[in-house]
Structure formats: C-alpha cells, structure tokens
Copies of this chain bind each other. A is one copy, B any other.
Amino acid sequence: MGNIDYECPHRVSVPPSKPFFKSLKSGLKETLFPDDPFRQFKNRPASRKFLLGLQYFVPILEWAPRYTFEFFKADLIAGITIASLAVPQGISYANLANLPPIIGLYSSFVPPLIYAMMGSSKDLAVGTVAVASLLISSMLGKEVNPNENPKLYVQLALTATFFAGVFQATLGFLRLGFIVDFLSHATIVGFMGGAATVVCLQQLKGILGLVRFTHATDLVSVMRSVFSQTHQWRWESGMLGCCFLFFLLLTRYFSKRKPAFFWINAMAPLTSVILGSVLVYLTHAEKHGVQVIGHLKKGLNPPSLSELAFGSPYLMTAIKTGVITGVIALAEGIAVGRSFAMFKNYHIDGNKEMIAFGMMNIAGSCTSCYLTTGPFSRTAVNFNAGCKTAVSNIVMATAVMLTLLFLTPLFHYTPLVVLSSIITAAMLGLIDYEAAIHLWKLDKFDFIVCMSAYVGVVFGSVEIGLVIAVAISLLRVLLFVARPRTFVLGNIPNSVVYRSIDQYPIANSVPGVLILQIDAPIYFANASYLRERISRWIFEEEDRLKVSGETSLHYVILDMSNVGSIDTSGISLLEEVKKIVDRRGLKLVLVNPRSEVIKKLENAKFIENIGQEWIYLTVGDAVAACNFMLHTSKSNLGVEYNSQDDNV
C-alpha cells in the first residue's frame, strides 16, 4: 500500500536557489526601495540622469517651467491668507517654547523658502507647531532655565533644531522612513490629543495672568500650580482671554458650517492680535496686569551658525531633544502632506519629504529659526484658500519678511493673553474625540494605544506618553507573531475549498483527518507556543472522536500557506511536531509550503524526513490523497497504513 497508486495532480516546487549576494540585494531593494525611485533613471543618457537626479532632490526645477500666471494668482491669495495666520501663530508658539517671540517670526521666513524648492507637496504650509514647541520647552527646560539663562537656552534650541534636521535628512537619505511608520495613526491621535490638552493647560498661565507657574506639564502639577495661587488671578486678563477665545471659536464654528468663508477663520487670529493691541494701547492695560510682548527687534534673521552649541555640556540634551522632536515633526508633516495629496490625487515620496524637512531645519538652525514642519491647521487653511503649488509658501515668506522689516514695532502692545487664546483655540481643534470613538468601534486595541498615549501625555509627560504608546503598538506586532492563531479547516460544501470552521460554520470536517492552518511565520518567538497548541488540537480532536465514536484520527494536515518565513527554531518545531504525530501513530502531511520555507526545510533535510510524497500543493489534494490511502488501507486489513518506508 502507500500512495504508490495515487496520482497527485500538482507538486510543490522548490524554487531554484539564488546566489547569496543576489538574494541579499533583492531583499535589500524590497526592504528599502519599495517604490523603486531609480526606475525612471534606467536606460537614460548621463546628462538626462543628472537632470532627473537634480529634479528628484529639488522638485521646483521640475514644476517651475510649467508654472502659469493663473497658478500665481491662486498662490498669492493663499500665501497672504496663511501669512496672516503665520505671524500670530509664530509669536504664540515661540512663546510656548519659551523662546523670544521674534524667533517665531524668523521661523516663518527661511524654512518655507527652502521647502518651496525641495518639498514635493503642493499644499503643505511650513511653520512651527505647538507640540514640538512644548517638547522643546519641557525637554530643554529641565536642564536650563530659560529665564535665568536665556542665551544658552536659545543656543540649545537652535542646536536641537540642527540635530533634528540632520536626523530627518539622514533618515531620508538612508531610506529609513519606516521609523516614522511606527507612530501609528492611533498613537498620533492619542498623542496629539494629549499634547493639545497639555498645551491648553499651559495657557492658563497667560489667560489668568499668572507670573509664577510650574515647569511640569502634567495635569496634576498644573492644577496644583493654578489653584494654589487663586489670589494672583487677574480678572482683566482672564476676561480678555475668554472674550478672544469665544471670538476665535465662533469664527471657527461659522467657517466649518460654510466652508466658503474659510478666510474668516484664517483671518481671526490676526484680527484678534490687532484688536487686542489697539485695546491695550488705548486703555494702557499693560499697566493693569495685562502682560504684552514688548519690544521686537526690526530686521531679517541674523545668521546663527556660531550660536550652535556643539561644545556645550548640554550637547546630549540638545541631540536627544532634536531626535525626538524631529521624529514627531516628521510624523506630523508627512501625515499632513499625504492627507492633502490624497485629496488632490498626487503622490508624495516620504523619504524625499524627509530630506526636504531635514534641509529646511538645518538651514533654519543657521538662520535663527527653530524647529518647523507642516502644521495641520496652516496647511488646511492653505488648501482651503486654493493654493496650487509651493509658491504660496514663498508668498507667505515674503509677507513675513516685510513684517520683519517694517511692522515689528506694531506688536509692542500685543497682549500675551491674546496669544494664549489663539493657541487654546487651535489646540481645542486637535483633541479629536471623534477619531477616538471611531477607533473604539473599529479596533479595541488601537483604542487602547490611543488612550494610553493620551493618558501618558496628560498625567505623565509628553515623552512618557509617546514611549508607552509606541511600546504597546510594538507589543501588538510581537504578540501577533508570538501567539499566532491556529485554525481547524473544513470543506466548504460542493467545492474543493477548505476554510476555517470558525468563520464558515457550514464547512464540514473530513473524517479521519485534522487540518490545521498556522497563521504566522514560525519563529523562535512562537515555536514553543505552537508546539503546545498543535498538541492540544490533536489531543482534543482524538478525545472528541473517541466520545462521539466517529472514525479515529489518521492524518494531521498542516496548511503552511500562511507561514511566510521560518527560522531554525521553527524547523526544530516541525521536527518535534513530526515526532509527536508519529508517536500517536498518525501521519503528518504538509500543504503548500512557500518558497522560503521549503528551501529551508530541504536544507534541513526535513523534506527527506517527512517524505516528498507527503507534501501537497493544496489542502484539497492532500485530503484526496489521505482519503485514497485511508480506503486502500481499510480494504487491506492488517496492513499498517502509516508505515514510514513506503515505496514511492
């Protein structure tokens, strides 16, 4: 007996083995260049290659020749709109980062120009962001007090920006953009919500007109700090703040309901600043406890290369701050760029964007700018204002330049409380509770990730929240591999298709045959688990059959279709499963081992061990073979059907 008479229709093939370096090369290409950026360079003359390469890194060279006056009209309007947002936001966020307000204006001048040349998004508006500003103040503030040692603090912020740029550009050049992917959507929703909450809490200082305030960012410290000095609250400041906050939220509500009036929302911050400044100037409120910005230096960005504190004892802090803020800024910028590219149906290359962001921050750090990226709010306004290309960034930079050259004295009387209101209004929009509800509905695990990021940021610190969320996200990936699911397959009636009995209750199990599907690569991390689990499936099936008195078990079929990869621990596992199965007098059958798996099994001599004839291409073939042999053996009573040394 044996399968000598059984004609198997199709065989599993072992793919031809590739030379080591060839397979290494193709593996690296698949890992690092999924989009194959060199495709267009193939079979071109050298001069054309050079031009294409230049256009690859400096996209403006590609689209500038096709730029039209129509485009410019649209970009001009969009640019002026975002400039009106950029000036108050720049000052506010610099304030949040404990940096001089003028640095916030500087940061809206040089970086947008660099991005306009190197960036590939048509909609992204460059600027500083609240979360990165908060991170800079909390990470650097731990080491250097910005009030006691403002010069060193600014130097460290610029140095951190430099390293953020270097890190971003390096990630792009080395095609390591996938590091950003480890910040999942759920992490970002929770993290942004948490950071926005924390930023709002920090604004209580400005709105209540407090002079002393905690340096910690967590809810408990801030609340303790606020309520321990109730007698210091300034009602003038508080009232002004609430009024402006109400005004800003009202304009946003209105704009949201009628998108055509987006500009009302876009102009609201600048209007608030003008109104607030005029009000303070007329009432001399600055003498009644309403703090104002004060003197702003006229003139463009001074060079700051010599300010970079490479020799400072705090260099490590600056590097750490740079790397963390750099990654977060990247994640926000790329996510924003991609979202708007999806709307307009064009494609953004993540790695190229990283190089653009990196260059923009390196250049920024040498011209007195701190960390910039593509903020969601400003980009959304840019998009709504009808921008066509990155020229809107150039327009914005020009407007900011004019402000720096001529208009800075006008901001002398701008009250800080208005800036706090602007930040608070912007941040309230970032707490995306609807997204959290959506996550809960779709995927409980993502909801847990999101909530832990939120809780970690609000009750711990920004870094703690981030680390917890990334750790939980990674744990999920590891858990998927460490605890792979195994399914029992059954036959879908009137077909040769086998599917999980859990999902298809109509599927019928095959008498005498247990079909198991393993749902992950077999690695060291799951080999012991799979041994336990497979043993239990076999025991339970045997118990069940004994109780119900059906045909006893003769074959165990392992469907390897979903086993994409295997390591040496995995091979040992299969050898152990073979022993377990043999010991119980059963026969192990493999189905559809994939190319990597079958190559390794052949090298490990497992194919010889199990027998080439016990490996089938489909579950259907394997079941047919098992049934054939089961009936042959039944008709030859007394002949052992699972002897190992059949003649084939």
Contacts and interface: CB of A to CB of B under 8 A. Distances in A.
Given A181-B482, A536-B36, A562-B562, A9 B528 contact: no
Contacts of A572: 185
Interface string A495-510: 1010110111110000
Interface in A559-603: 561-562, 564-565, 567-569, 571-572, 576, 579, 583, 592, 594-595, 598, 600, 603
Contact of A576 (B342, B483, B494): B342
A46 interface: no
A5 interface: no
A93 to B, nearest CB: 28
A474 to B, nearest CB: 7
A521 interface: yes
Contacts of A444: 20
Contact of A441 (B445, B526, B576, B603): B603
B9 A495 contact: yes
Interface stretch (A27-35, A80-88, A142-150): A27-35
Nearest to A569: B185
Interface string A478-502: 1111111100000010110101101
B342 A35 contact: no
Given A442-B600, A594-B500, A34 B527 contact: no
A23 to B, nearest CB: 9
Contacts of A473: 524-525
A567 B9 contact: no
B564 A480 contact: yes
Contacts of A485: 30, 564
A532 B349 CA distance: 9
Given A30-B483, A30-B485, A442-B568, 9 more contacts: A13-B506, A184-B525, A342-B579, A438-B568, A442-B571, A477-B481, A477-B523, A492-B617, A561-B562
3 smallest beta-carbon distances between A and B, as pairs = A184-B524, A503-B595, A34-B532
9 contacts: A9-B495, A181-B527, A442-B568, A446-B568, A476-B567, A477-B523, A484-B564, A503-B598, A562-B562
